[in-house]
Amino acid sequence: MIINESGSRIISNFGWVDKGSLWVCDTDSCQPYLIEIDSSDYIEIISGSADLFAVVHHDNAGQFKVSARSFADPELALSQIVVKPGETNFVGSADTWIHLPKVYASYYSPLEDYCLFVIDSALRKVDYYKLALFSTGPDKAYHGIISATEVPKSSRVVISVQRDSLILHDIVRKKSVRSISLADRNGNPKVLFRRNGEEMWATDYDYLLRLDINGWKIRNMVRLQESSSEFERSFIGNFAFSRNEQQCVVARPFSHDVVALDTDRFTVTHRAPMEMQPLAVVVLDDGKVFARDWYTGSLLKSVLVPVTNIG
């Protein structure tokens, strides 16, 4: 889930529910609706600046496609890039991409592999190549690439590997330079950088971690989801920062709630109970929490209240 600067509109996609549609919800009316934009197998939504976001259209049509859209009119593609073997097409204003990530990861069927796509909007070109990751082994179905997140003010990206950890990759050298250790939980890591660019926060199955990007050392880590049984672990969902970055909210589908950490102290200070199983979440600065249920994609709402401990 992503939210605009004013906190008035949320956009999301659960592929198993929404397919190739954008799920849109205005926080005042709380009446979600779908905008069908594609027949892709699934789409990925990535937030930018200036209330813009990118949509990666994942499919098996022998192409890579990404579109630039706005919160104000999400149905309209302001610009679109389509990469096919020997052909790259830019449609619309290339200036739009200044406000969006320039690096994307996706499976590219013409090369039968996961590739990194690096956009140069000034030259209206896309450089792409296979991702050779030294930690993943041969099973690409098991160790697929989840995402590529740009490290602020650098030529490097953090590659999230399914059922594994993170890889630091240099897009200039086109080379993976190191592994980034997390909690050794073999989760599907999700990554966010703080605005100052000095901290990276990541999930690892049932743990939330904070790392210093100068050396990639773990500063803090906390287990936020207890096991459902002696033989089975339970994972946490997605996480998000409040607009002022004073809080980080984490969805806990197996505890039927969302918890909030103080971002300075890295301690849980608030909780928002939910009736169902929240998987994706956003929070407003006034403590209102919006989430989506894991199975149904239904909108969930609650308010953060102070706590002294969590279960």
Residues 156 and 257 placed together within one structural domain of the fold: no
Residues 145 and 18 placed together within one structural domain of the fold: yes
Which residue range is the domain that position 286 belongs to? 227-311
- Give the CATH number of the domain where residue 97 resides: 2.130.10.10
Q: What is residue 167's predicted lDDT score, i.e. its pLDDT?
A: 94
Residues 166 and 290 placed together within one structural domain of the fold: no
Cβ atoms of 104 and 126 closer than 8 Å? no
161: left (phi over 0), alpha (psi -120 to 50) or beta: beta
**Distance between CA 16 and CA 127 in Å, rounded?**
31
Residues 193 and 86 placed together within one structural domain of the fold: yes
* Structure confidence by residue, pLDDT tens digits, 113-145: 899 999 999 999 999 999 876 544 445 555 688
CA dihedral sign of residues 125, 106, 206, 16: positive
Q: Which residues of the chain have pLDDT under 70?
A: 60, 133-143, 228-231, 311
Q: What is residue 142's predicted lDDT score, i.e. its pLDDT?
A: 56
**Distance between CA 186 and CA 190 in Å, rounded?**
12
Q: What is residue 132's predicted lDDT score, i.e. its pLDDT?
A: 75
Boundary-marking domain end, from 226, 250, 279: 226
- The answer to pTM > 0.75 is yes
Residues 109 and 246 placed together within one structural domain of the fold: no
Residues 150 and 278 placed together within one structural domain of the fold: no
* Structure confidence by residue, pLDDT tens digits, 58-80: 876 889 999 999 999 999 999 99
Residues 232 and 202 placed together within one structural domain of the fold: no
Q: Determine phi and psi for 23, rounding to 5 degrees.
A: -95, 120
Helix, strand, coil % (nearest 5) of the chain? 5, 50, 45
When divided into structural domains, the chain yields a total of 2
**Distance between CA 157 and CA 178 in Å, rounded?**
11
Residue 191: C-alpha distances to residues 146, 167, 208 (Å)? 10, 12, 10
Residues with Cβ within 8 Å of 141's Cβ and at least 6 positions away in sequence, in order, are: none
- Give the CATH number of the domain where residue 248 resides: 2.40.10
* Structure confidence by residue, pLDDT tens digits, 79-102: 999 999 999 999 998 889 999 999
Q: What is residue 144's predicted lDDT score, i.e. its pLDDT?
A: 82
Give CA angle at 309 (282, 181), nearest 5°: 65
